[in-house]
Structure 1
């Protein structure tokens, strides 16, 4: 039987579980060849609270409970203003997602979240660490193309991806 997921906006009472999910994701990445992406406790509770207060934090659920979390917004991502070693596919308005994490119990959570975002904004951008092979596969599997390199506020490089609106 196929798992049915649904997405809802996060609520105040989800904060503790989201923070724990991010901790679990940090441990998973460190053990699976990506020790440098989410370091020094990032994303921290203050990041979660900021996303929640901006109404851009979402929970992916199944009948078994919380399966994933992510931040999704439509607008400008300041870290995407400058791109090197390539270019964005277009300069139209776009959506973007960050801080996606899965509970790891069910397959397809990340792709479901990405597809949900695409139903809200079909022109999407994203980024990931060069060592995050899992997220690179999620982007590529969902029709995103590599576009170049963007830099986070702390100066660390990220692989930039975009999926254009279909005509």
Structure 2
């Protein structure tokens, strides 16, 4: 397995994974990643800002994740709970594994790579949010030591459940 920063040449492969995830959510009637989100322009911007990473198996992209060390505006207010810390944090968004590789622990592997990157930058907190009906992501987060912290609201007003993990050296 290889985990690396995404390049513009990876956009189509990343979008193929995202399209499958969007269809999977649609089939499960989960209103996440619908309405043309995320799209090519968003992924292109993620790559431009050096926030997009990919997981490869035998040279084929099978996973993708957004990792940023910029403050997430929608995380300033949290409801029905609180964050575990107020220190500098990393943010995970747009994590997806190719459906053909689901159930193999690859999301956990990507989270481990993300944690290693965070620790290398002396960042000890990772925050993430997901749809309340995206139970597989919530289970994956909890399995990997993320703690439920409360509710946040996206810029469009949609509600998301928020998690945080504190990293030890």
Q: TM-score, normalised by structure 2?
A: 0.91
Aligned to 2:60: 65
- For 2:132 and 2:113, the matched residues in 1 are separated by 24
Which of 21, 26, 33 is equivalent to 2:22? 26
**TM-fit CA distance, 1:108:** 1.2
Q: Which runs of 5+ in 2 are unaligned?
A: 119-123
**TM-fit CA distance, 1:39:** 1.1
- Does 2:156 correspond to 1:154? yes
Dislocated runs of 4+, deviation >3 Å: none
Structure 1 residue matching 2:43: 3-state secondary structure: helix
Aligned to 2:134: 132
**TM-fit CA distance, 1:105:** 2.4
Aligned to 1:56: 51
- For 1:105 and 1:165, the matched residues in 2 are separated by 30
Structure 2 residue matching 1:160: 3-state secondary structure: strand
Structure 1 residue matching 2:109: 3-state secondary structure: helix
Aligned to 1:10: 6
Q: Is the 8 A contact 2:17 2:62 kept in 1?
A: no
Query: Size of the alignment, in residue pairs?
Result: 162
- Does 2:87 correspond to 1:85? no
**TM-fit CA distance, 1:46:** 0.8
Say which is worse superposed, 74-83 or 141-150, in terms of deviation.
Answer: 74-83
Q: TM-score, normalised by structure 1?
A: 0.92
Q: Is the 8 A contact 2:92 2:127 kept in 1?
A: yes
Q: Is the 8 A contact 2:26 2:34 kept in 1?
A: no
**TM-fit CA distance, 1:18:** 1.3
Q: Which runs of 5+ in 1 are unaligned?
A: none
- For 2:73 and 2:33, the matched residues in 1 are separated by 19
Structure 2 residue matching 1:84: 3-state secondary structure: coil
CA RMSD of aligned residues (A): 1.3
